[in-house]
Amino acid sequence: MNLTPKQLEVIELIRQCQNDHGYSPTMQELAEQIGVSKVTVFERIEALIRKGALTREANRARSLSIAESITERYEKKENAAMRFPLVGRIAAGMPIERCEDSETLDLTSMFGPRVGQRGDTFALRVEGESMKDEGILDGDFVLVQKQSTAKNGDRVVALLPDGETTLKTFYKETNGTIRLQPANTEFDPIIVKHCVVQGIVTGVLRSY
């Protein structure tokens, strides 16, 4: 079913109203949100009904319903948006060898459908206790936003010169070295002249 951008805008507004309030918008409400006349909205609605994207009961103000096929399309899109590539494990202790695989972390199954999505985000499972004082525990998942720069105080996934990766708090010292600071007094900081920042931690996920 091919829908125009303007028709998709109508579908999205109807869907949003149903999700937020439990009922469909009126023609007048749609017209006000889109910024067009009520006649124009009526024409778009009629076109969507002819295409089978919408249904409507006669003589009811809030009777618009989205076709099941369109609803399923949105659900598939949202479910896909709740999956992040699970690219391996990250050391929150001593560094471990970097690994990658094709698994995904499905946030929908873990935390429900309202968890948001950020572009260029991947997930890592934490191993170790070096970040526990910041609430990042062994077995947790961290969501990491891909980027190659960091500022002091950022929690980063860092690729070390020996090819290993670690999760620590980033600090660039005045002497030019980089300190990767654990959040556990039982661990020593890692001091290097150079490391590659692979991403910034944006969230910590834990299921019970």
pLDDT digits (tens, 9 = 90+) for 16-40: 888 778 888 888 999 998 899 989 9
Buried b (16+ CB within 10 A) or exposed e, 131-160: bbeeebeeebbbbbeeeeebeeebbbbbbb
Mean pLDDT of the chain: 81
Confidence of residue 145 (pLDDT cuts 50, 70, 90): confident
Residues 192 and 208: their CA atoms lie apart, in Å, by 36
SS3 for 142?
strand
Residue 197 confidence (pLDDT) above 90: yes
Residue 201 confidence (pLDDT) above 80: yes
Express as a percent the part of the chain with pLDDT over 90. Answer: 34
> What's the confidence (pLDDT) of residue 108?
57
Return the higher-pLDDT residue of 162 and 115: 162
159's enclosing H/E stretch is: strand 155-159
Q: How far is CA 38 from CA 27, 34, 148, 155, in A?
A: 6, 10, 50, 51
Beta-bridged to residue 143, according to DSSP, are: 123, 203
Write the single-letter amino acid at 196.
Answer: V
Write the single-letter amino acid at 141.
Answer: F
Write the single-letter amino acid at 55.
Answer: T
Residue-wise pLDDT tens digits, 127-136? 999 999 999 9
Which residues are designated catalytic?
130, 168
Mean pLDDT (whole number) for 38-47: 90
Write the single-letter amino acid at 120.
Answer: D
Residue 167 confidence (pLDDT) above 90: yes
Handedness of CA 120, 121, 124, 129 (dihedral sign): positive
| Structural domains present in the chain | 5-78 (1.10.10.10), 82-205 (2.10.109.10)
| pTM score, whole prediction | 0.51
